[in-house]
Structure 1
């Protein structure tokens, strides 16, 4: 993914403005969790809005504020001001009314700016809190996964099967840790490249005589998973394990031309 191009597309400004659809908001939020650059850009945009909102009330003070409010009230510096000598009290009251209107409008403008600033501060705080809570949950999950993997690696009853690269994919590799008691495997797929768009890795349990493949499922989260270790259920009497590259959604039978890795379970 081209992070720079995504940031420059302007979608993050629309996200902060709250004009995206629910689906688009969800996509941006997920990308914020995956890419620190996108998260930082969103926080920078929100911070800029807060500063801009605060500066408006400062920059529109004094003469500028007076002129801006006069314009809003429909007054023009070019208007001819006719002052009747016969009615000085009435004119004084008229200007007093104008002044009161200007003061009231200035007060409303200041209140509006303060309210917008407060809303922006709240939005920034809520976003930061949500992301922090997500990061904490992710950290807890990662710690639990790490403890599980350590237990598996240290267990002598776990069967370890290296999966070597095959044919045109000789440089690839993987490893299976098979816990027969709990009927699950842990697949270390760090040695596999990122699958092309529209493709997915599929894991197979194999019986060798005769050759009978049983699908253990596709690795749909391969691209987003950082450590490339996947827990997969396996209740089969497996004699070998293989990994093929298949169209998204998987295949009923393995595409042998796309067999990346294969490993035979050693006989105890």
Structure 2
């Protein structure tokens, strides 16, 4: 007999796991007496099963409830070893007595592996759901920006809209913004081009100058997400000005903190 071919046939795995026929088990037992290498191969396979069982039963991180179930399964397996089924007991000079129910051990290994992959799949599925939610949020944000751009373009292209370019003052030469004013319906839109960020207790305030008197058109922050800001309406305006005021605005402008100014060309 070519013992290496016999070992490679899978008979060792079948016998150890209790899956071989009675005739094959008896033949295997007789051959173990004659071939020490067959005994060594069998021992190697059993040690491999032991290693897999030990490693995976202690190192895989599983939910508490699932780990408890596996521990109970392992405990049941150990208890059942006192009355093993399909167990080969061979006693000879080359073979120590083994009474391990390897089929039960292999079943627990498969159970651990299946539970592990199920847990991994669940974790990956939850991560995928979170990723999809983030993508949806980005898509919604992008849609909002696109809608804002479309609204902005509509305002820009309206023939009734007067564009007022607001230049920086001596105290804020780099400050700039554009006012888009439709005198026919009194709508006022503001596009901030360059306005430094202010402390949390301060805001910018837009004013319309009418017959030399200021009219409050609302407050805004320089770091707002909107590309174009809808301000309060005004039907008349000789000029528009931006000042720095306390958060929430003031009833009258602080002229020494005027940041930018722009005169209109529209008739009053």
TM superposition score normalised by structure 2? 0.57
The one-character-per-residue Cα deviations of 1:180-235 (angstroms, maximum 9, x if unpaired) are 334322212112223334432222223243x2x33222224x424274x3222314
The residue that corresponds to 1:123 in the other structure is 126
Alpha-carbon shift at residue 68 of structure 1 (Å) = 5.7
Cα distance in 1 for partners of 2:57, 2:138 equals: 47
Cα distance in 2 for partners of 1:169, 1:208 equals: 25
- Alignment counterpart, residue 196 of structure 1, candidates 188, 195, 199: 199
Alpha-carbon shift at residue 62 of structure 1 (Å) = 6.8
The residue that corresponds to 2:225 in the other structure is 225
**In 2, are the aligned partners of 1:205 and 1:236 still within 8 Å (CA)?**
no
Counterparts in 2 of 1:38-49, with a 5 A limit? none
2:254 matched to 1:266? no
The residue that corresponds to 2:51 in the other structure is 63
The residue that corresponds to 1:180 in the other structure is 183
Cα distance in 2 for partners of 1:64, 1:130 equals: 39
Cα distance in 1 for partners of 2:266, 2:84 equals: 107
Larger Cα-atom Rg: 2
Unaligned stretches of 5+ residues in structure 2:
1-48, 60-66, 73-80, 86-97
DSSP 3-state at the match of 1:254? coil
2:150 matched to 1:162? no
Cα distance in 1 for partners of 2:115, 2:193 equals: 54
Q: Alignment length, in residue pairs? A: 189
**In 2, are the aligned partners of 1:245 and 1:259 still within 8 Å (CA)?**
yes
Cα distance in 2 for partners of 1:254, 1:108 equals: 75
The residue that corresponds to 2:14 in the other structure is none
TM superposition score normalised by structure 1? 0.57
Mark the CA change 1:98 to 1:256 in structure 2 (over 3 Å): closer, same or farther.
Answer: farther
Cα distance in 2 for partners of 1:250, 1:65 equals: 71
**In 2, are the aligned partners of 1:208 and 1:240 still within 8 Å (CA)?**
no
Counterparts in 2 of 1:1-268, with a 5 A limit? 63=51, 65-67=53-55, 69=57, 90=82, 96=100, 100=104, 102-103=105-106, 105-209=108-212, 211=213, 213-220=214-221, 222-225=222-225, 227=227, 229-268=228-267
